[in-house]
């Protein structure tokens, strides 16, 4: 596997992770609702780390996309 193929594979896996996070968030939202307090101040479960996990994953996807095409952010 070439370096570019490995980067593309990692990018696809991370996009899958992001979709899973979104799905889990939506399930919580539909099941019991999500208030601003839940989103910003939750201390347990998915919501406690959702923002950071999603942001970090999204930023890695952006970085990978730049590496794949050889551009600089």
**DSSP codes of every residue in 42-73:** --SHHHHHHHHHHHHHHHHHHHHHHHHHT---
Q: What is the pLDDT of residue 58?
A: 97
Report the predicted TM-score, pTM, of the whole model to 2 decimal places. 0.85
Nearest to 7 by CA among 69, 70, 71, 68: 68
Please write the tens of the pLDDT for every residue from 6-65: 999 999 999 999 999 999 999 999 999 999 888 888 988 889 999 999 999 999 999 999
Whether residue 72 has pLDDT greater than 90? no
Is the pLDDT at 73 greater than 90? The verdict is: no
Asked whether residue 2 carries a pLDDT value surpassing 90, the answer given is no
């Amino acid at each position: 596997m070439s370096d570019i193929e490995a980067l593309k594979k990692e990018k696809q896996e991370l996009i899958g992770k992001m979709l899973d996070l979104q799905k889990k968030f939506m399930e919580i939202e539909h099941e019991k609702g999500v208030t601003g307090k839940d989103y910003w101040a939750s201390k347990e479960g998915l919501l406690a780390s959702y923002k950071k996990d999603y942001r970090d994953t999204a930023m890695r996807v952006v970085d990978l996309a730049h590496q794949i095409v050889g551009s600089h952010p």
